[in-house]
């Protein structure tokens, strides 16, 4: 999990990469959950919050992200 202050220190291109990677991780977790392989479902909530944190920082900077 990345703190908001750490996200604010990232350059724009690294912030975009972080958002992309977090979305891929969430997709993987959702897939595992759907197939019954995911044991700890708290990771879904944490991944969603991570994406929201990063998107908030991107929006503050006026950065365009994929899918948003």
> Which tokens belong to 10?
């990232």
Residues 6 or more apart whose Cβ sits within 8 Å of residue 7: 15, 18, 53, 54, 57
Of 57, 29, 53, which Cα lies nearest the Cα of 43? 29
Given pLDDT bands bounded at 50, 70 and 90, which one contains residue 48? very high
pLDDT for 36 beyond 70: yes
Average pLDDT over residues 17-36: 96
pLDDT at 67: 72
Q: What CATH number should be reported for the domain whose range is 4-60?
A: 1.10.287.310
Given pLDDT bands bounded at 50, 70 and 90, which one contains residue 68? low
């Amino acid at each position: 999990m990345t703190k908001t202050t750490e996200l604010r220190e990232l350059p724009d291109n690294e912030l975009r990469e972080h958002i992309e990677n977090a979305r891929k991780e969430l997709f993987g977790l959702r897939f595992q959950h759907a197939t019954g392989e995911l044991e700890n479902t708290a990771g879904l909530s944490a991944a969603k919050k991570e994406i929201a944190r990063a998107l908030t920082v991107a929006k503050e900077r006026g950065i365009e992200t994929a899918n948003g």
